[in-house]
Amino acid sequence: MSEHPPFALVDSHCHLDFPDFAGEQAELVARARAAGVTRMVTICTRLKNEPAVRAIAEAHPEVFYAAGTHPMYAAEEPLVTVEDLVALAAHPKFVGIGETGLDYHYTADSAAVQAESLRIHIEAARRTGLPLIVHARDADADMARILTEEHGAGAFSCVMHCYTSGPELARAALDLGFYLSMSGIAAFPRSTEIREIFAAAPRDRILVETDAPYLAPPPHRGKRNEPAYVAHTARIGAQALGLTEAAFAALTTANFERLFAKAAA
């Protein structure tokens, strides 16, 4: 990739603290910058790891962070409190609440505690004004119901990260004013339905991400993902929306800055 990319991108969701990247954060950030990625949001998935995630954000001007309890860990981690999350939000580089959500793929047995944790994160998003970062897998009906109920009880902003669910949940989320984030899965050849969901969504509600180290887009599929590779997903996203790559980059960057206002340039 060139040293002077023609347009700027944002990786709205990655995990730079994961063991896959141990000791490599400076190189990862440099490669991302060379690929045109001007900002990254690194996501803490267990609150006990928050100090390490915060340190990565503090060490790199391009990196911001968010923290919460991932739904797959909701049953094995202490239940977070609204006060815990509100306190973390005071940090200047803390820009979102989560990731939180519902995951019934492997952890359906903890559905009740996942829902309780999700509602706590939602209240923290309301109180802080920061966007909620939602992970949803195999839980579309419950997710749509909880988000709609909670939004009715008091508005909050939200991104459905790595959106791979069905059109019904997408419609419910978009009807609430929420955002959908495109991951490398959308760039897989067989992900036609996902690309169609994004193509039908309001243009001002689309973000792009890597979820690194997971879900690398082609041509790196099956290998370790990293923030620089958001450019590959953006290329496919641009095609799906009928835009130039520069227009898609400008669109998703503007949407990111509107939702993640604390990270706006």
Residue 4 counted as domain residue: no
Structurally, how many domains does the chain consist of?
1
Alpha-carbon dihedral sign for residues 57, 224, 187, 138 = negative
Query: Is 177 contained in some domain?
Result: yes
> Which residue has better confidence, 4 or 125?
125
Angle at 160 between CA 158 and CA 19, to 5 degrees: 110
Residue 3 clears pLDDT 60, i.e. is over it:
no
What does the pLDDT look like over 199-213, one tens digit per residue? 999 999 999 999 999
At 1 the pLDDT is 42
* Within-domain flag for 93: yes
The Cα–Cα gap between 210 and 184 comes to 6
pLDDT digits (tens, 9 = 90+) for 117-168: 999 999 999 999 999 999 999 999 999 999 999 999 999 999 999 999 999 9
167 cis-preceded (ω within 30 degrees of 0): no
pLDDT above 60 for 259: yes
Q: How sure is the predictor about 7, in pLDDT bands with cuts at 50, 70 and 90?
A: confident
Q: What is the pLDDT of residues 223-252, one digit of tens each?
A: 999 999 999 999 999 999 999 999 999 999
Tens digit of each residue's pLDDT (9 = 90 or more) over 10-46: 999 999 999 999 999 999 999 999 999 999 999 999 9
- Report the pLDDT value the prediction gives residue 2, as an integer from 0 to 100: 43
Q: Which residue has the tokens 């019934």?
A: 104
Structure confidence by residue, pLDDT tens digits, 57-102: 999 999 999 999 999 999 999 999 999 999 999 999 999 999 999 9
Asked if the structure places residue 1 within a domain, the reply is no
Domain presence at residue 2:
no
Residue type, 209: E
Structural domain range at position 257: 9-263
Predicted local confidence at residue 265, as pLDDT: 61
Give the pairing of strands 179-182 and 158-160: parallel
**pLDDT value of residue 4:** 59
Q: Name which of 134, 182, 138 is nearest 156 in CA terms.
A: 134
What CATH number did the domain enclosing 217 receive?
3.20.20.140
Residue 3 lies in a domain: no
Q: Is residue 104 part of a domain?
A: yes
Whole-structure pTM value: 0.96
